[in-house]
Amino acid sequence: MDFHELEAFLALADTLHFGRAASRAALSPSALSRLITRLEEEQGVALFERDSRRVELTEEGNLFREFARESVFRKNDLLHRFASRSERPGGILRIYASVTACYSILPPFVEVLSAEHPEVRLSIDTGDPAPAADAVRENRADIAISALPDGGFEDLLSHSVRKTPLVFAAAKNGPYGALALPPASIDNEPSREETQQREQVLENVPLILPRTGLARYRFDQWVQKRRTVTGEAFSPEITAETAGNEALLALARLGAGLALVPRLVLENSPFAEGLVLYRAGKDFGEYDIGFVQKKQAESPAREALLAAVHTLIRRIWPHE
């Protein structure tokens, strides 16, 4: 086996989806399947249980994942150590980001990083933003672009770069394209009557929600607050739950209901076409987006690289 095979195995172990893993490993799904079969034959054990509908790691697969992660980490760390012999940071910088972050936040960072640290190579893994911080915690990424909770993360360094409100999106020409809700373009505080009207609408319209993450947490908090304040049963209809803002918007565009997403997802992007946006309201708060990384790296070489990256981020997005 080689490092490319180990990285392809890790892509499948992390996603449990041949299509997404193949894209991440720059392989076709059939080529990835053959690679996994070859690894299993070499080890003499089944690493995955798979059929036409699901992929799961076996007990041996979980053990092999620990080995693969350690091996790939040690290889990358060695490259960082080699790079540290020079005066400038170098090596591989692993970034986890959503598709939205790749076109809305990463460009200025990549431009400056490439100009000032040409020795640094990028490895970018895209996916659902909800587990972005976990990608850093689990050593699958050096830095990630994540929604930041109030006060940041206790165990990670974070730097806010953008704030955006949460909005509801619906198909413009669909059944929910002309609801009695204020448009997202209006920034003034809603009146008490508008708030009550919003609650009535949201209780009777199917909703499309993220399965996990900050937006879902804020929605659940809002529902609980509504029940506590009124003392009444309040059970909005959740018609679909999914991972990733792009999937939420795809369902909204099909007319399935209202999708709760950060407005940033729809700014300067093809995802806004054919959609109408409604204001979610102050109860849902702002979506604070920023970079996260570990407070302490595993080696001096990686520490030097991440320190340089953190300094660069703070310079591009200075806080007042």
pLDDT in tens, 147-170: 998 888 999 999 999 999 999 999
Which SS3 state, helix, strand or coil, does residue 118 take? coil
pLDDT of residue 239: 94
Is there a shared CATH topology between the 1-85 domain and the 163-286 domain? Answer: no
Share of the chain above pLDDT 90, in %: 47
Per-residue pLDDT, 262: 92
pLDDT over 70, % of the chain: 93
- When mean pLDDT is compared across 13-17, 136-140, 282-286, the lowest value belongs to 282-286
- Angle (CA) 55-60-62 rounded to 5° is 65
Across the chain, what does the average pLDDT equal?
Answer: 87
Closest CA to 174 of 238, 244, 258, 241: 258
- Which pLDDT value is given to residue 107? 95
For residues 79 and 66, which has the higher predicted lDDT (pLDDT)?
66
pLDDT of residue 320: 54
Nearest partner of 297 among 288, 310, 306, judged by Cα: 306
Alpha helices by DSSP H, listed for the chain, are 3-15, 18-24, 29-43, 59-84, 99-104, 106-116, 132-137, 192-204, 214-230, 245-253, 300-316
Residue pointed to by tokens 């992007």: 269
Q: Residue 124 — φ and ψ, nearest 5°? A: -110, 125
- pLDDT over 70 (residue 87): no
User: Are 249 and 274 within 8 A, CB to CB?
Assistant: no
Residue 76 has pLDDT above 90, yes or no: no
Residue 1 has a pLDDT of 77
Provide the pLDDT for residue 219. Answer: 92
Per residue in 198-242, pLDDT tens? 788 888 899 999 999 889 999 999 899 888 877 777 788 999 999
Do 222 and 284 touch, CB atoms closer than 8 A?
yes
Rounded alpha-carbon distances, angstroms, from residue 80 to 32, 259, 285: 28, 42, 40
Dmax (CA) for the chain in angstroms is: 67
State residue 201's pLDDT score: 86
pLDDT at residue 194 above 90? no
Ranking 79-83, 135-139, 165-169 by mean pLDDT, the lowest is: 79-83
Q: pLDDT tier at 26 (50, 70, 90 boundaries)? A: confident
The larger pLDDT score, comparing residue 119 to residue 77, is at 119
Mean pLDDT of 122-136: 90
Q: Is 248 helix (H, G, I), strand (E, B) or coil?
A: helix
Q: Could you tell me the fold of the domain covering 1-85? A: Arc Repressor Mutant, subunit A (1.10.10)
Per-residue model confidence (pLDDT) at position 191: 67
3-state helix, strand, coil in the chain (%, to 5): 45, 20, 30
**Residue 259 bridge partners (DSSP):** 169, 208
186 has pLDDT over 70: no
- Round to whole Å and give the CA distance between 169 and 273: 11
Tell me what the mean pLDDT of segment 233-256 comes to: 89
Give the residue extent of every domain in the chain. 1-85, 163-286
Residue 86 pLDDT class (50, 70, 90 cuts): low
Q: Which of 299, 294, 288 is nearest to 157 (CA)?
A: 294
Confidence of residue 65 (pLDDT cuts 50, 70, 90): very high
Task: Say whether pLDDT at 49 is over 90.
Answer: yes
Name the 3-class secondary structure at 43: helix
Amino acid at 132: A
What is the model's pLDDT at position 106? 95
> Which pLDDT does position 31 carry in this prediction?
87
Nearest-CA neighbor of 220 among 176, 272, 283, 267? 283
**Cα 243 from Cα 313, distance rounded (Å):** 27
The domain over range 163-286 is classified in CATH as 3.40.190.10: yes
